[in-house]
Amino acid sequence: MKSCKNRFRNNKGAALITVILIISILVAAALELNRASRADVYYAANIGDGIKLTYVAKSGFYGAAALLINSKGDYDTLRDSWAKAEILSAQSKGYFPTGNFIVKVEDEKGKIPLNKLVDGNVVNPDIRDLLLRLLSLPEFDLNKNKAGEIVDAIIDWIDENGDITGSGAEGAFYSTQAFPHTAKNAPLDCIKELLMIRGISSEIYAGTKEKPGLAQYVTIYGTGAININTAPKMVLRALSDTISAELADKMDEYRKADGNDLSSPLWYKKISGLENVLIKPELIENVKSNYFKIDSTGVSDNMEQTISGVIRRSPFQILSWRQD
Ligand SMILES: [Ca+2]
């Protein structure tokens, strides 16, 4: 009788332990389900926010394109509405329930047209010297030889032949690299291609906190002439050996001031200190632009989505499109 009672107690104990175990498992499962559900909800919310911000960024891109299309003057300047896209960006704070965009427009004609550096196998000495002067500016911290090596290597990358230009590099060099390849021997399809060319490190290409990057001053578009009305100050300095940083500041001030006539590229001659500076006329032959880079970022409290692209204004076409 006594042993039967003990067995009954033991069975009750085992049942209690089983129930506690089942409850523990159920509680753990419920907690896990709750955690996973919350993670799914956050994940879905993040995707939703990302999609919304992508459309906010797209709005900025097309808004800037509209500013460009509506800018119908005979010449382009940094006083035009497209060049003041920060106004459109500020207005966008009231356009959307969530987020706003920050959009920036750059004139590709203000940059050095790398594909005009060589035509077949014929080097354009004006563009070569322009690029050499740019890379020789103290901000790049390259000595003259190194700058020359880079320019020659870009020429060899683009020219059709396999003959080494000065201190350049052709297929024999590239075939010995960790990832062997040949020189392209054709025009660039995108600026990032520069990273495949001998001597162009990611630091030279993109810059650092202290140094500028080559990428922001060069383009694969353009006709060969620079728009002096819109070129970055570093490119203005590269237009002639005699344009110092101070003179480039004066040029920038002059071209941004209302009322100064910028319809002819020769306006720079009116600035004190620049009367006797000669920029080769072929380098600045007109001030009308047609290719523009647009960067638009949709921003919210905790997320960003960026769309970058290049457009041709007339006839309008989106030539490149990248979503980060
Ligand atoms: Ca070549």
Q: How far apart are the first and last CA of the chain?
A: 79
CB 265 within 8 A of CB 35: no
For residues 229-240, give the mean pLDDT: 98
Tell me how far the alpha carbon of residue 161 lies from the centroid of ligand 1, in angstroms.
4
What does the pLDDT look like over 52-70, one tens digit per residue?
A: 999 999 999 999 999 999 9
What does the pLDDT look like over 82-119, one tens digit per residue?
A: 999 999 999 999 999 989 999 999 999 999 999 999 99
Tell me how far the alpha carbon of residue 74 lies from the centroid of ligand 1, in angstroms.
38
Considering the domain boundaries, does residue 27 fall inside one?
yes
Dihedral of the CA atoms 209, 214, 216, 222 (nearest 10)? 180
Classify residue 32 by burial, with Cβ atoms within 10 Å: 0-12, 13-18, 19+: exposed
Q: Name the pLDDT band for 8 (thresholds 50, 70, 90).
A: low
Tell me how far the alpha carbon of residue 204 lies from the centroid of ligand 1, in angstroms.
22
Tell me how far the alpha carbon of residue 36 lies from the centroid of ligand 1, in angstroms.
57
Tell me how far the alpha carbon of residue 52 lies from the centroid of ligand 1, in angstroms.
46
Considering the domain boundaries, does residue 87 fall inside one?
yes
pLDDT of res. 4: 54
For residues 10-28, give the mean pLDDT: 78
Identity of residue 147: A
Tell me how far the alpha carbon of residue 253 lies from the centroid of ligand 1, in angstroms.
41
Considering the domain boundaries, does residue 208 fall inside one?
no
Q: Name the pLDDT band for 3 (thresholds 50, 70, 90).
A: low
Tell me how far the alpha carbon of residue 184 lies from the centroid of ligand 1, in angstroms.
7
Tokens of 35: 């955690």
For residues 266-282, give the mean pLDDT: 95
Considering the domain boundaries, does residue 42 fall inside one?
yes
pLDDT of res. 321: 96
Which residues make Cβ contacts (< 8 Å) with residue 283, sequence separation at least 6? 126, 130, 225, 226, 239
Average pLDDT over the chain, rounded to whole?
93
Whole-angstrom Cα distance, residue 108 to residue 220? 9
**Residue (of 142, 144, 166) closest to 153 by Cα position:** 166
Tell me how far the alpha carbon of residue 168 lies from the centroid of ligand 1, in angstroms.
9
What does the pLDDT look like over 248-262, one tens digit per residue?
A: 999 999 999 999 999
Considering the domain boundaries, does residue 265 fall inside one?
no
pLDDT of res. 19: 78
For residues 222 and 311, the model is more confident at 311
What does the pLDDT look like over 145-156, one tens digit per residue?
A: 999 999 999 999
Beta-strand ranges (E) seen in 262-303 are 291-299
pLDDT of res. 35: 76
Range of the domain at 95: 2-106
CB 153 within 8 A of CB 196: no
Q: Name the pLDDT band for 315 (thresholds 50, 70, 90).
A: very high
Considering the domain boundaries, does residue 48 fall inside one?
yes
pLDDT of res. 110: 98
* Number of domains within the chain: 1
Tell me how far the alpha carbon of residue 160 lies from the centroid of ligand 1, in angstroms.
5
Is the pLDDT at 1 greater than 60, yes or no?
A: no
For residues 158-180, give the mean pLDDT: 96
- Whole-model pTM: value is 0.85
Element (H or E) spanning 307, and its range? strand 304-312
Considering the domain boundaries, does residue 130 fall inside one?
no
Is the pLDDT at 234 greater than 70, yes or no?
A: yes
pLDDT of res. 144: 87
- Evaluated on CA atoms 264, 270, 273, 276, the torsion sign reads positive
Is the pLDDT at 295 greater than 80, yes or no?
A: yes
Q: Name the pLDDT band for 7 (thresholds 50, 70, 90).
A: low
Q: Name the pLDDT band for 9 (thresholds 50, 70, 90).
A: low
Considering the domain boundaries, does residue 66 fall inside one?
yes
Tell me how far the alpha carbon of residue 258 lies from the centroid of ligand 1, in angstroms.
46
